[in-house]
Chain A
Amino acid sequence: MTKPAFYALLGPALVLLLSTTYPFLSGIYTSLTNQKLYTPATKFVGLGNYINLLETPLFWTGLANTLTYAAAALAIQLPLGLAFAILLDVPGRLQSFFRSTIVLPLLVPPVVAGLIWKTMMHPQSGVLNWLLAQVGIEPLSWLTSPHMAMASIILIDTWLFTPLATIILLAGLQSVSGEIVEAARIDGANAWQVIRHVKLPLLAPYLLLVALFRVSDSLKSLEIIYSTTKGGPLDATRTLHVMAYEEAYRWSSLGKAMTIVFVLWLVCYAISGVLLSFWQKQEAKSHGQ
């Protein structure tokens, strides 16, 4: 394909996608002003918003919540997703049924997932506390207690997104060629040994891909929290993305909201940039083979 043809075909898509740099840059400018949402009278304040933000204790709470959420989501969903993937990698009719059900949570709107779990987590009439009571565990306050709310949000996130980890890792397990597996079998390896010594070592790029998607998504998670706790109780689930939304719409301080969003964007950009470059290296290595 010639270069002019290449750019002609790509042109409209590139123009559309790159046109987002305008709102992006105008957002950076907004973060340097005291702009309000509904009144245009705006003053340039330089780095004032950023300095104020760093001096606000709630910002550090929000940053800690954001990082806790992302770290916990990855620490739980990576091993759990791998365990699910190994269970589904076993050939069989039951497994093939489960392979088709595993994607269901991923296609539920996150807002709806939030509402479903909020219903189930209702402290008095929720089905989860009833289930706990059946095995003799005291009822939990789930989303309504500051100590449990973040854990409950992470549980919802885990239900919704562990399947993503599972299907990526399952694709990885199944990408190992049948010949290698067969050779190991002939050498006397059992099913578990094949997974442990043949398949897992080849899984590195897939594990990185899971980390990339899960970390970057959970750093900016908003919809689950918005449909359940809205950041409460007592700021226990107030992440930076939720803070930014609140700042814009509850306090209508667009300048301050953009400041928070840009700090979050920098965090996302740095972390996903590192993971992306690791993954690219792995990809290049496996393509080179």
Chain B
Amino acid sequence: MANRTSRGLPAKLGLALCYVAFAGFVLFPLVWIFLMSIKNFGDIIAYPPRFVFAPTLSNYAEILFGSEAERASGQVPDLIKFLMNSVIISGGAVILSALIGIPAAYALARRRDTTSDKLRFTVLSFRFAPELVVILPLYVIYSRVGLYDTYVGMILVHQLITLPLMILILASFFRDMPIEIEEAARVDGAGIWTILTAIVVPIARPGIASAMMIAFIFSWNNMIFGLVLAGGNTRPVTMGILQAMTFDQIKWGVMAASAMVSAFPGMVAAVLFQKQITRGLTLGAVK
């Protein structure tokens, strides 16, 4: 204990500097893009960079309500279309993953043997393959069967992200739940399906909600699937931003505002589900 109080001023100062450097590195890029999104064009291109300026919401207005030309012709702004696509694809993918992933996770959690462990590692191994190994051949298959650039096709392929996440997070979550109630119900003659739907799911609702949220973010953040398998009808927001960037190099403010909007679900989740995110990001390997 004596050591702690006698630690010198230089050491304390050094430690404080470490925290400042840490916070600066993590937060500066996000703060910077946020500032850019509320600057007008003149403030953005100013050099030296301006930290004090009159904020404007015009960039957000343009991406959410359309440019003047778009408003005049009654067109839906591109970003709104991309956002809708992402909501449909990621929302659909997460719902499908919940329906088939919850029973699977429950099975893996409540039957512990070598088969179960092997299956868990098989599910985990999906994360380690380069995505193109499956989605380039899928492009050919999708084109042939008419799934290319459709919501159904996109929702199906996003199972590669959302399903392993749901299964592994929830398996680790279910395993931590006390088994006594389930055993009592079984003694009373309840079947496995009844136990799952009437007892486990209601108790695990918060865990299921956070797993769904995390799966949603990871599906939302993905770009590669859209790059290969989505066309004009289903292009997700991560693709849309890139597209806007190539056609319109100069509109930094609009780009920054789009970046903020597309990163929004992740930011919200980071605040709400901070504890569960570690488990999600490591696929349940760490609690």
**Residue A99 CB within 8 A of the other chain:** yes
Could you say which residues of chain A place their CB within 8 Å of the CB of B221? Answer: 107-110
**Residue B121 CB within 8 A of the other chain:** yes
Complex Cα spacing A5 to B281, Å = 29
Could you say which residues of chain A place their CB within 8 Å of the CB of B281? Answer: 103, 106, 164, 167
Is B136 within 8 A of A254, CB to CB?
yes
Complex Cα spacing A213 to B283, Å = 10
Could you say which residues of chain A place their CB within 8 Å of the CB of B164? Answer: 17
Q: Of B121, B160, B222, which one neighbours A276 at CB under 8 angstroms? A: B121
Is B132 within 8 A of A261, CB to CB?
yes
Interface segment, one of B64-72, B96-104, B204-212: B96-104
Q: Of A1, A168, A191, which one neighbours B192 at CB under 8 angstroms? A: A1
Could you say which residues of chain A place their CB within 8 Å of the CB of B18? Answer: 83, 87
Is A6 within 8 A of B107, CB to CB?
yes
Per DSSP, are chain A's interface residues mostly helix, strand or loop, or mixed? helix
Known: A9-B103, A119-B252, A167-B278. A222 touches B131 (CB 8 A): yes
**Residue A20 CB within 8 A of the other chain:** yes
**Residue A244 CB within 8 A of the other chain:** yes
Complex Cα spacing A160 to B252, Å = 21
**Residue B56 CB within 8 A of the other chain:** no
B268, closest chain A residue (CB): A107
Complex Cα spacing A209 to B217, Å = 22
List residues 109-149 of chain B with CB under 8 A from any CB of chain A: 110-111, 116, 119, 121-141
Complex Cα spacing A159 to B25, Å = 7
Could you say which residues of chain B place their CB within 8 Å of the CB of A226? Answer: 223, 227, 242
Could you say which residues of chain A place their CB within 8 Å of the CB of B26? Answer: 101-102, 104-105, 159, 163
Complex Cα spacing A112 to B140, Å = 28
Could you say which residues of chain A place their CB within 8 Å of the CB of B22? Answer: 84, 87, 98
CB distance from B118 to the nearest CB of A (A): 11
Is B267 within 8 A of A24, CB to CB?
no
**Residue B33 CB within 8 A of the other chain:** yes
Interface residues on chain B, size class: 35 or more
Q: Of B32, B122, B137, which one neighbours A127 at CB under 8 angstroms? A: B32
B35, closest chain A residue (CB): A127
Complex Cα spacing A115 to B241, Å = 9
Could you say which residues of chain A place their CB within 8 Å of the CB of B125? Answer: 272, 276
Q: Of B119, B223, B266, which one neighbours A107 at CB under 8 angstroms? A: B266
**Residue B52 CB within 8 A of the other chain:** no
Q: Of B45, B116, B137, B223, which one neighbours A125 at CB under 8 angstroms? A: B45
Complex Cα spacing A253 to B211, Å = 39
Is A101 within 8 A of B27, CB to CB?
yes
Complex Cα spacing A185 to B2, Å = 11
Is A124 within 8 A of B47, CB to CB?
yes
Is B163 within 8 A of A109, CB to CB?
no
Q: Mark A30-53, 1 if CB is under 8 A from B, else 0.
A: 100000010000000000000000
Q: Of B122, B131, B141, B274, which one neighbours A100 at CB under 8 angstroms? A: B274
Is A112 within 8 A of B47, CB to CB?
no
Could you say which residues of chain B place their CB within 8 Å of the CB of A185? Answer: 1
Q: Mark A240-264, 1 if CB is under 8 A from B, else 0.
A: 0100110010000010011001101
Is A227 within 8 A of B242, CB to CB?
yes
Known: A120-B32, A163-B26, A185-B1. A272 touches B128 (CB 8 A): yes
Q: Of B107, B119, B134, B267, which one neighbours A27 at CB under 8 angstroms? A: B134
Q: Of A94, A115, A209, which one neighbours B286 at CB under 8 angstroms? A: A209
Complex Cα spacing A122 to B18, Å = 27
The 4 closest A-B pairs by CB, nearest first: A107-B266, A190-B3, A27-B137, A13-B104
The chain B residues found within 8 Å of chain A, CB to CB, are: 1, 3-4, 15, 18-19, 22-23, 25-27, 29-30, 32-33, 36, 45, 47-49, 100-101, 103-104, 106-108, 110-111, 116, 119, 121-141, 159-160, 163-164, 167, 192, 196, 217, 220-224, 227, 238, 241-242, 245, 252, 255-256, 259, 262-263, 266-267, 269-271, 274, 277-278, 281-282, 285-287
The chain A residues found within 8 Å of chain B, CB to CB, are: 1-2, 5-7, 9-10, 12-14, 16-17, 20, 22-24, 26-27, 30, 37, 83-84, 87, 94, 98-113, 115-117, 119-120, 124-125, 127, 130, 159, 163-164, 167-168, 170-172, 185, 190-191, 206, 209, 213, 216, 219-220, 222-223, 226-227, 241, 244-245, 248, 254, 257-258, 261-262, 264-265, 268-269, 272, 276, 280
18 further contact pairs, Cβ within 8 A, besides A105-B26, A109-B238, A248-B136: A7-B107, A12-B103, A13-B100, A13-B167, A87-B18, A107-B263, A108-B221, A110-B221, A119-B36, A119-B256, A124-B47, A167-B281, A168-B282, A219-B130, A227-B242, A241-B130, A257-B132, A276-B121
